[in-house]
Amino acid sequence: MANTLVEMFRMKDIRKRILFTFAILAVTRVGAILPIPGINPGVVLSYFETNSNSFTEYLNFFSGGAFANFSIFMLGVMPYISTQIIMQLLMLVIPSLKKLAQDPQGSKKVQQYTRYGAIVVSAIQSLAASVYASSIPGAIAIGRVPFTIVAMITVTAGSMTMVWLGEKITDKGVGNGISLLIFAGIVARIPSASYQMVRSIQLGVLNPVSLIVVIVMFFFVVALVVYEEKGQRKIPVQYSRRVVGRRMYGSQSSYIPFKINPSGVIPVIFASTLLSFPLQLGYNSNIGWLRAVADFLNPQGAPYLIIYTLLIIAFAFFYTQVSLNPIEMAKNIRDNGGSIPGVRNEKLEEYLTKVLNRIVLPGAVFLAFIALIPTLIQMFFNFPASVAMLFGGTSLIILVGVDLETMRQLDGMMKMHHHDGFVDAKKRRLKKF
């Protein structure tokens, strides 16, 4: 694999894409430490060092520590993801919107609507963040009204800049840009979380034996996530002879690969982002019912865990139905003269739907279980919140999922240049160093 890495950097276009991706990620990390104009960074830093809680750690987890810095990128890409969820749900309710999204030109309009919606969501969340800042004694260095206006403009612009940078990575870099920004934020938390873990052991807050147990669990869960991400069921498809123009094509066999988890990390990101929205609006709010909602959705409470689990399962089914539509798949099979052995043609939709549901349900339950690991670690092993989230399931699913997807893309690019990629074609697994 070492030779593969060397060959990869020798290819000019791949090298440019990789360096471009790293450059954009470096820009986002700089933006994560630049404070909002009018904020007192020292006061905010001291406040979060002594008043850290599950809510702030939860938001820091997805922003790479930018929230605790009250930086221009403090919201990250969460408003954009929240708007994407809303648009996907609206497509189920409004058939004309779904039809518009299926058209190549219409999809650009839907994407534009999503960006406009993300601006609105960013403005609302930045307003909530400014209210939260005003509750910290001495955090605001200017008047409250000017600070609120400046914060809303700056944070909204920062969030949309993050979205733009993510799209640039997708177009000119390597991997999915939005997912890589979240990936980079989680990786950026590793040094501080490791330091906090060592300090907790020195102060006697954390038992070293518990740490060893959690580390063993960590590697076990990583292996499970990789196994689950690569697992698939192959549906055999037989194509009969057909005439195209003046040429006759003989019968051939193929298969449809159904992954155990077709939606990847999307359900976890969607569920986490959706639940973070009411938390941001309600935490330290003066509005009674918003504060009650935020208290009800305490990340360590039973209601939050139940809703979180149900949302992950629901989004897994929803995203699978959108990306792998059994009706369209059955239509394509019939149009190309194909059939599934042992299944009548008029029953193809029913059969594919049945197989998908049987695959997606255990995959979604597995995702939900992995995502609950941070809370279990905090409850049973007394781990600090930042360390528990780093060792926990959500971070592992995102890290492993994004890493595998990026490596697949690099593998495809290298094979286009007639080079061996990261995957051993014979053994169908990653090459060893």
pLDDT in tens, the chain (433 residues): 556 666 777 778 888 888 899 999 999 888 888 888 888 888 887 887 776 666 677 677 767 778 778 888 888 888 888 888 788 778 777 778 777 877 777 778 888 888 899 999 888 888 888 888 887 888 888 888 888 899 899 999 999 999 999 989 988 888 888 888 888 888 887 787 777 777 777 777 777 777 787 777 777 777 777 777 777 778 888 776 655 555 655 556 777 777 777 776 678 777 877 777 677 666 666 666 777 777 777 766 778 788 888 888 888 887 777 677 777 778 877 777 777 887 777 778 888 888 887 888 888 888 788 777 766 776 676 666 666 666 666 677 777 778 778 888 887 777 776 555 555 544 445 555 4
DSSP designation for 70: T
Q: Report the run of H or E that residue 6 belongs to, with start and end.
A: helix 2-10
Q: What angle do CA 236, 241, 247 make, to 5 degrees?
A: 135
CB contact burial 300-314 (16+ within 10 A = b; e otherwise)? beeebbebbbebbbe
Give the helix, strand, coil percentages of the chain, each rounded to 5. Answer: 70, 5, 20
Question: What pairs with residue 140 in β-bridges?
Answer: 39
| CB distance 141 to 40 below 8 Å | yes
- C-alpha 378/C-alpha 389 separation (Å) is 9
Structure tokens at 68: 């605790």
| CB distance 32 to 66 below 8 Å | yes
| CB distance 378 to 205 below 8 Å | no
Question: What pairs with residue 155 in β-bridges?
Answer: none
Q: Report the run of H or E that residue 416 belongs to, with start and end.
A: helix 393-416
- C-alpha 329/C-alpha 243 separation (Å) is 22
Instruction: Write the burial class of residue 432 (CB in 10 Å: 0-12 exposed, 13-18 middle, 19+ buried).
Output: exposed
- This prediction has a pTM of 0.72
pLDDT of residue 362: 82
| CB distance 59 to 282 below 8 Å | no
